Amino acid sequence: MTKATTDHLPVLVVRIMLIGLPFLILSESLNPGPYPKLLLLHAGIAMLAVLALRGLAQPATHPLLLPLIAAIALHLLSTTQSVNRVESLIVISHRVALLSACILGVALIDRRHIVLLFQTIGTASTIVSLIGIAQYSGVAGLNLPSTGMPSATLGYRNFAAAFVIVSLPILIAELIRSPRDFARIAWAVALALNGTFLLTTRSRAAWGACVLSGLVFLGLVIWKTRADKQTIQFSKWRPVALKLAFSITVAVLFSLCIPPQMGEAGYETHSTEKTSLAGAISSTFDKGSDKHRFTMWKNTLEMVIDYPVLGVGPGNWQHVYPVYDRGTVSWTGATPKRPHNDTLWIASETGLVGLAMLIWAGLTVIASLGRSVRTERDRTAFLQVVGAFSALVAVAAHGLFSFPIERIPVTFVSAVAITVIVLRDPVSRQKSNTDLRPHFWGLLILTQLLATVTLWRGVTFERHAFRQNVAVHSNDWIESIKEGSLALAQGAFDPQVYLLRGLAYHITGQYDLAIKDQSACLALHPNLVNAINNMGMSLNAAGRYDQAVQTLERILELNPNHVEQHLNLSQAFKGLSNREESLRQLELAIQKAPRRQEIVLELARKLEKAGELKKASSVVTKGLRNRPEDSGLHYRLGGILQKQGAKDQAASSFATVIQLNPMHAPVYYNIGELRLAAGDTSGAIQAYQGFLSRWTEGDNVAAAVRSKIEQLQ
């Protein structure tokens, strides 16, 4: 295939991206990595487009181009269905960049340079594995941003596992291809490190995907060996097999003999069943090991049925899903962001048409593979095609249980793999139309530069959003408002920033601004239960009780198990002077959360204030059935019984309080009151003195009790 340019600059740019994408990470980030990595991806694509324009490179024609371009067009059309078009823009920019990478790679990269790309992928994966192994062993890297170690620089262990499994077939292809024994030994060591790290991630879906891609690799090699004995010879397999066996043995022995030492950052603290290799495997069959995947898949299928043509829009599954979840997986404070199945994810966001295009593209890749492996006589070229295809199999298989399509380093390696398959396909050819080349490459440069600028704003947004989150956890509400405002000045990349700034406005008494922010959040994420609840809370505080009731009642449809809605509804009905409904909402809250002491006490307090002491006593007694050792409930019950005149029962409750919590100061005052009423002055004084010795909250109260003691003495 004739190339417009034969210099090494395009290959150098791609290699820099292959190294940079897995390692670029932002320390001030809520979700480590995506915006910086996407920024680098777009900047790299823009650079490649400049090189293509400079050399007037010829775009290639290939059957795969049509389904990929059609898929991008469908993504743009599906955006008409999106609730949050900012999210759609980010997803589309990622996928346009990947398509551009394939087009530019085929136009700019010479087949001779594929070896360099494979070596770079293997090197990057090995460095990732070294960092991950160091984290697992507790040696180094534990300070890297991560939501679950060992993750190296990929932010989470499953993300790191996805990067390793897409790289492993390419690494194995290099091990087999290398003509020198020293190089094979080096690749065998690299393979051992990658395999070791993969096992330490305890990502069972990645393990299964890796095994499947390995079987595909082996099957294609065996088929070629029988069909064309000159390309692949059995006589050369013995040293390769020994090195593969060495790598696998090292990986398994390390995982069996070396325990994890990651502390709070690792699964030995949060998922103890994964501490050992055997435990991780056996727990696959435990109840609940699917992590709600089957439930999310069933609910996502309902979504696909409701939106069969265009879906809900790119990136918008997370904004629509709560309607179908009905509180099964969603919980207070969070909702799932993806269904842990890339196929269902694509079908739900771009409809059955999008799924059909995915299948079309997959079949086109398989057809391209078939042409290459049948006709290829060069051993290196054959191994490159097989390695690239096996890498795609690993990603596709992993995508049945996870979401590698979202991970930028993984998808870029996949784009390189597709480029290799197209480059090696005998039907791939250059376009001859020279008039359109400057316009095509110029348009590509423009779109990628615009995306780069947008993503730079995204990186800045993420830094301020991270600082806002830190401020919220520190209860620094003024700083939270400041950082949230700085983040939103870059664009509404995440509606949660509106939610947190709205919460800060509420706590600082700026209720109208709080309502405005929660409304902005709900415009981008209309089914976010936390935002709906916060909106109701702020409407209550602003005295807009009718609107609060109307807003909060939506939560019942989205999450029937939600408790806080009832507390806020109780407040709203109280504001509307509907006492019975206010109390009923508290009763509903207790039914859903019978162990929530503060709700039981609130209902008891309201009943007690209304003089309904018998009902108040009954509420606290029921609460004690769920929390028999709760000193606060025993104290409240004693106080109610004391008001009812049941002095012996009250004394018994107060004695239980002292038994459970000897430092509980108020109970000594109540005991003093009981003894005084019974005529036991010395006993009352003793109890009051017990109160004073434990009371630490206010001098005025202590002074009043001292005065009482003096009067009694």
Final residue belonging to a domain, choices 593, 612, 647 = 593
512 falls within a domain:
yes
Would 485 be classed as within a structural domain?
Answer: no
Structural domain contains residue 460 = no
The DSSP 8-state label assigned to residue 7 in this structure reads S
Residues in the chain: 713
Q: Are residues 523 and 568 in the same domain?
A: yes
Residues of the chain falling short of pLDDT 70: 1-7, 30-33, 229-237, 331-334, 429-436
Domain around 284: 9-452
Residues 568 and 674 in one domain: no
Task: Please give the structure tokens belonging to residue 252.
Answer: 């398994």
Dihedral of alpha carbons 107, 110, 115, 119, sign: negative
What are the b/e assignments for 322-349, b being 16+ CB within 10 Å?
A: bebbebebbeeeebbebbbbbbbbbbbb
- Identify whether 487 is part of a domain: no
Domain-embedded: residue 480: no
| Last residue within a domain, chosen from 552, 573, 593 | 593
Domain shared by 444 and 526, yes or no? no
At 230 the pLDDT is 66
Same domain for 346 and 283: yes
The pLDDT of residue 430 is 60
Which residues contact residue 356 at a Cβ distance below 8 angstroms, ignoring those fewer than 6 apart? Answer: none
Count up the domains in the chain and report the number.
4
Considering the domain boundaries, does residue 65 fall inside one?
yes
Instruction: Decide: helix, strand or coil at residue 186.
Output: helix
Q: Are residues 672 and 651 located together in one domain of the fold?
A: no
119 in Cβ contact with 14 (< 8 Å)? no
Q: Is the peptide bond before 32 cis (omega within 30 degrees of 0)?
A: no
**Is the same domain home to 295 and 443?**
yes
pLDDT at residue 329, rounded to an integer? 84
Do 644 and 682 sit in the same domain of this protein?
no
What are the phi and psi torsion angles at 4 (to 5°)?
A: -75, -25
Distance (Å, whole) CA 614 – CA 214: 71
Confidence (pLDDT) at 2: 44
Paired residues of 266 in beta bridges: 149
* Region for residue 429 given its phi and psi (left: phi exceeds 0; alpha: psi -120 to 50; beta: otherwise): beta
pLDDT digits (tens, 9 = 90+) for 159-199: 999 999 999 999 999 999 988 888 999 999 999 999 999 99
Among 549, 571, 593, give the residue marking a domain's end.
593
Six token digits for residue 255: 């995982």
Quick: pLDDT tens for 520-553. Answer: 999 999 999 999 999 999 999 999 999 999 999 9
pLDDT of residue 226: 83
**Is 509 found in the same domain as 443?**
no
Does residue 458 belong to any structural domain of this protein? no
Same-domain pairing of 84 and 225: yes
Q: Is 679 left (phi over 0), alpha (psi -120 to 50) or beta?
A: left
Sort 597 into a burial class: Cβ within 10 Å, 0-12 / 13-18 / 19+.
Answer: middle
Residues 52 and 151 in one domain: yes
HSE-CB of 187 using CA atoms within 13 angstroms: 29
Cα separations (Å) of 262 from 132, 221, 463? 11, 40, 26
Residues 524 and 648 in one domain: no
Burial (CB count <10 Å: 0-12, 13-18, 19+), residue 71: buried
In a domain, 508, yes or no: yes
Which position has the token pair 């043509």? 309
- Three-state DSSP at 334 gives strand
pTM: 0.90
Whether residues 345 and 272 fall in one domain: yes
